[in-house]
Amino acid sequence: MLFSGLKWWTSRSLWIHRLHYGINGGGKARYSSCSPKVCIVGGGPAGFYTAQHLIKARPDVAVDVYERLPVPFGLVRFGVAPDHPEVKNVINTFTQTARHERCSFYGNVNVGKDVSVEELREAYHAVVLSYGAEGNRRMGVPGEDLSGVYSAKDFVGWYNGLPSCRELGPDLSCETAVILGQGNVALDVARVLLSPIDFLKKTDITQPALEALEASRVRRVLIVGRRGPTQIAGTIKEIREMVNLPNTRPDMLAADFEGVKESLQDLPRPRKRLTELMLKAALETPGEKEQERREKATKVWGLRFYRSPVEILADPERSGRTAGIRLAVNKLEGSGEGARAVLTGEVEDVTCGLVISSIGYKSLPIDASVPFDSRRAIVPNHMGRIQEAPGLYCSGWLKTGPTGVIATTLNNSFDTARSVMEDMESGTLNTTGVKLGSQSINALLENRGVKPVTFSEWEKIDSEEVRRGEAIGKPREKLLTVEEMLQVAGK
Ligand code: FAD
What 3 state SS string does the chain have?
Answer: CHHHHHHHHHHHHHHHHHHHHCECCCCCECCCCCCCEEEEECCCHHHHHHHHHHHHHCCCCEEEEECCCCCCCHHHHHCCCCCCHHHHHHHHHHHHHHHCCCEEEEECCCECCCECHHHHHHHCCEEEECCCCCEECCCCCCCCCCECEEEHHHHHHHHCCCHHHCCCCCCCCCCEEEEECCCHHHHHHHHHHHCCHHHHCCCCCCHHHHHHHHHCCCCEEEEECCCCHHHCCCCHHHHHHHHCCCCEEECCCHHHHCCHHHHHHHCCHHHHHHHHHHHHHHHCCCCHHHHHHHHHCCEEEEEECCEEEEEEEECCCCCCEEEEEEEEEEEEECCHHHCEEEEEEEEEEEECCEEEECCCEECCCCCCCCCCECCCCECCEECCEECCCCCEEECCHHHHCCCCCHHHHHHHHHHHHHHHHHHHHHCCCCCCCCCCCHHHHHHHHHHCCCCCECHHHHHHHHHHHHHHHHCCCCCCCCCCCHHHHHHHHCC
Q: What pLDDT, on a 0 to 100 scale, did the predictor assign at position 28?
A: 66
Q: What is the pLDDT of residue 319?
A: 85
Dihedral in degrees, nearest 10, Cα atoms 25, 27, 31, 36: -50
CB 263 within 8 A of CB 308: no
Ligand 1 binding pocket includes 406 (Cβ within 6 Å): yes
Of 128, 61, 120, 117, nearest to 393 by C-alpha is: 128
Q: Whose CA is nearest to atom 39 of ligand 1?
A: 405
Most distant CA atoms of the chain, gap in Å? 95
CA of residue 72 to ligand 1 center, whole Å = 10
| Residue 447 in marked binding region | no
How far apart, in whole angstroms, are the C-alpha atoms of residue 119 and residue 126? 12
Are 130 and 42 in contact by the 8 Å Cβ rule? The answer is: yes
C-alpha 301/C-alpha 284 separation (Å) is 16
Query: 75 alpha carbon to ligand 1 midpoint, in Å?
Result: 3
Dump pLDDT digits (tens) for 126-155. Answer: 999 999 999 999 999 999 999 999 999 999
In tens, the pLDDT along 327-365 reads 999 999 988 888 999 999 999 999 999 999 999 999 999
- In DSSP terms, 128 is beta-bridged to 40, 393
Measuring CA to CA, how many Å separate 4 from each of 7, 9, 14, 17, 18? Answer: 5, 9, 15, 20, 21
Q: Is the dihedral of CA 182, 168, 191, 291 positive or negative?
A: negative
Which of 49, 71, 108, 131 is the pocket-test mutation for ligand 1 (most atoms within 8 Å of CB)?
131
Edge-to-edge strands, sheet with 299-304: 149-151, 354-357, 176-180, 220-224, 299-304, 248-250
Ligand 1 neighbour 367 (Cβ under 6 A):
no
pLDDT at 19: 37
State if residue 409 touches ligand 1 by the CB under 6 angstroms criterion: yes
Give residue-wise pLDDT tens across range 195-232.
999 999 999 999 999 999 999 999 999 999 999 999 99
Per the CB < 8 A criterion, the answer to whether 149 and 312 are in contact is: yes
CB of 182 within 6 A of ligand 1: the answer is: no
CA of 130 from ligand 1 middle (Å) equals: 9
Which residues in the chain come in under a pLDDT of 70? 1-33
